[in-house]
Amino acid sequence: MLISLPKVRGIYRYNVSMSKITWLNVGGQADVLFKPRDIEDLICLIKNTELPISVIGATSNIIVRDGGIRGITIKLGKEFAYIRCKDNNSIVAGGAALLSNLAYFAGEQQISGLEFLVGIPGTVGGGIEMNAGAYGSDIASIVQSIKAVNLEDGNLYEFSSKEIGYVYRGHNLSRRWIFVEAEFKGVGSEHGIILSKLKEVIDKKNKSQPLRGKTAGCIFKNPKDYQAWKLIDESGCRGLNSGGAKISKKHCNFLLNHNNATAFDLENLGNKIKDVVKDKFNVELEWEVRVLGSY
């Protein structure tokens, strides 16, 4: 398949097997994987192609279907992984910076409030997109502003936290975006106190989540007034499997690639869980994991 692509300074890779780079180790090929050099390079690509565009980050929260991803898949690389102090307990981070690295960096700078990020496997861009959160805190509580490139017109925009319009595990910005930078605000604290909080978050995660299996974190968002894991558990689905996919016995809102699962196995099991919970509790579970690509 020949694809005409604009001339850029970034890197194009062709027919990339997504099963080799996603956390769940499933998925067909992406036609083109593109890593831009900088924001200008990213803008150049978007403005000069009519191919469909998808965006991935650390791939810790996605299922790529077995048919792969058509068009261009953008992944921000090391050029977007910077983290630096600004002023007055503010930190600026690129969209490819890992949330865990951001948490540790904040600790080194004696800035508190970002400790919860150490337990979230993902990037700043992905965290901004889904308002990632854990243990009662979320991105909305610490982000001050973001820079984002629109995937339709290719222009760069800047939004305040209020303009983003955060909601639980999402935001109210219309259209599609790739988040390239964010500014976060914490509060001053002692290094030792922050280290203690970081350790507490890590300990909680180790005790409650399946860390050694191939997983993509929580499958479903918590419905209003409910906890997704509890609905799944009380529906009798703890440990349920389909093909090579399995619901974790340790935390039943975690979906595992237990035995060479396909993307179909994982998505099919997730949809079965939705149906069972709906039948028993009349509650509609909503995917937290993003599903990309074609069958």
Name the catalytic one among 65, 181, 288, 290. Answer: 288
pLDDT at 104 over 90: yes
Q: Please give the single-letter amino acid code of residue 172.
A: N
DSSP-derived 3-state class of residue 123 = strand
- The three-state secondary structure class of 99 is helix
Task: Give the tens place of pLDDT for each residue, 109-165.
Answer: 999 999 999 999 999 999 999 999 998 899 999 999 999 999 999 999 999 999 999
Q: Which residue has the tokens 């028993």?
A: 280
Active-site entry in 115, 129, 181, 218: 218
Q: pLDDT over 90 for what percent of the chain?
A: 92
Say which of 169, 183, 252, 267 is annotated catalytic: 169
Distance in angstroms (rounded) separating the CA atoms of residues 292 and 57: 13
Confidence of residue 2 (pLDDT cuts 50, 70, 90): low
H helix and E strand count, the chain: 7, 19
Mean pLDDT of 249-275: 96
CATH classification of 11-78 is 3.30.43.10, yes or no? yes
Q: Which two tokens stand for residue 158?
A: 């800047």
* Domain 11-78 shares a fold with domain 212-292: no
Confirm if 145 and 183 have CB atoms less than 8 A apart.
yes
Q: Identify which of 61, 63, 82, 67 has the alpha carbon closest to the alpha carbon of residue 30.
A: 67
User: Beta strand 133-134 with 143-150: parallel, antiparallel or unpaired?
Assistant: unpaired
Cα separation of 217 and 127, whole Å? Answer: 13
Check if CATH label 3.40.605.10 holds for domain 80-206. Answer: no
Domain residue spans of the chain: 11-78, 80-206, 212-292
Separation between Cα atoms, residue 247 and residue 233, nearest integer Å: 10
Inform me whether the pLDDT recorded for 260 exceeds 90: yes
Active site (annotated) includes residue 70: no
If one compares 188 and 209, the residue with the highest pLDDT of the two is 188
* Residue 252 annotated in active site: no
Tell me whether strands 83-85 and 137-138 are parallel, antiparallel or unpaired. unpaired
What's the CATH number for 212-292? Answer: 3.90.78.10
| Catalytic (active site) residue 212 | no
pLDDT digits (tens, 9 = 90+) for 58-81: 999 999 999 999 999 999 999 999
> 177: which strand partners?
150
As beta bridge partners, residue 159 has: 146
